[in-house]
Amino acid sequence: MKVLFGPTIMSLEDALGDLREQFPEVEFEYCPAVGDLNHAIRDAEVFVGSMTEDLFKEAKRLKWIQSPSSGVDKYLSIPDLAAGEVLLTSASGTHGPGLAESTLGTMLAFNRGLLTSVFRQQAREWSASELRPVLIELTGMTLGILGFGAFGQHLAERARAFGMQILAIDIRTLPKPDYVSRLWTPDRLDDLLRESDYVVVALPLTPQTENLITAEKIALMKPSAMLLAMSRGGIVDQDAVARALREKRLRAAALEVMRPEPLPADSYLWDVENLLITSHIAGGTQHEGQYVIEIFRDNLGRLLAGNLPLRSQVDKDAGY
């Protein structure tokens, strides 16, 4: 069996030495150049990395793809992959802690005057009289989480330690943890939007969630609320967010993910007041590559033993 590693920002290839020792019967290859992948993948049965439609057409022997990402919408946009028998596993669960901490960090950056302080420091301005009267603490605030997977659960656990009330929505029937006040089905989305001081989008991008948060949905939120799109671009209407901010119908917003990515340099979104744009970085941690390799290592052992389904195996019909 040949396993091919493509280039990733996590440097997953650093684990190849240990993998070769653990699985001596497997041939491992690393292809660092994207332009060379079309040739290298032709005899590979397993691929670790990002996939394109052209690359998939070259992969005649492929049995399994391990995504280094938790979201797999780009993989499932390849028709033959979505409809075929090649197994697809995600890195679901690996990015939850980093995403949760980034989300809380974003909230605190707005609430505690940190963003403004960065600019005031650059201007050498002392801003106590300006900032101290408008600082906000999270105690007693309501956090609404759309999507109660690994990310949503990690976020809820951490937010509860700040004294927040947690509302969550998920399409699945899940047991409600003690630290969550209410765990609703999607038909209660409007209620969550109305009640929440902070709304965090932690959903996968699927046909059911695409364009879910429209201008009409944003209009249900409190003018004092904050909206954070943290999982995938295409779920939140970016233009509607910008309009709500400009018209003072939202206090603040954050776009960690957007459509398209990268956001063009000439996009007007860069200049919208009280909108924080980050570059799809929130899932990153010093442990990120280790987490992904743990899933891959477990799954390779399962595949060799014929033990299916694999860990974090994607339900292609559900989209995650």
Q: Which residues are catalytic?
A: 232, 261, 280
CB 10 within 8 Å of CB 296: no
Contacts for 208 with CB less than 8 Å, ≥ 6 apart: 171, 319
Which stretch of DSSP H or E encloses residue 243? Answer: helix 238-246
Residues 6+ apart with CB under 8 A from 272: 242, 245, 246
Question: DSSP letter at 200?
Answer: E
280: left (phi over 0), alpha (psi -120 to 50) or beta: left
Instruction: Give the residue among 272, 271, 252 at the shortest CA–CA distance from 197.
Output: 252
Rounded-to-integer distance, Cα 157 and Cα 166, Å = 9
Q: List CB contacts of 11: < 8 A, sequence separation 6 or more.
A: 289
In three-state secondary structure terms, 46 is strand
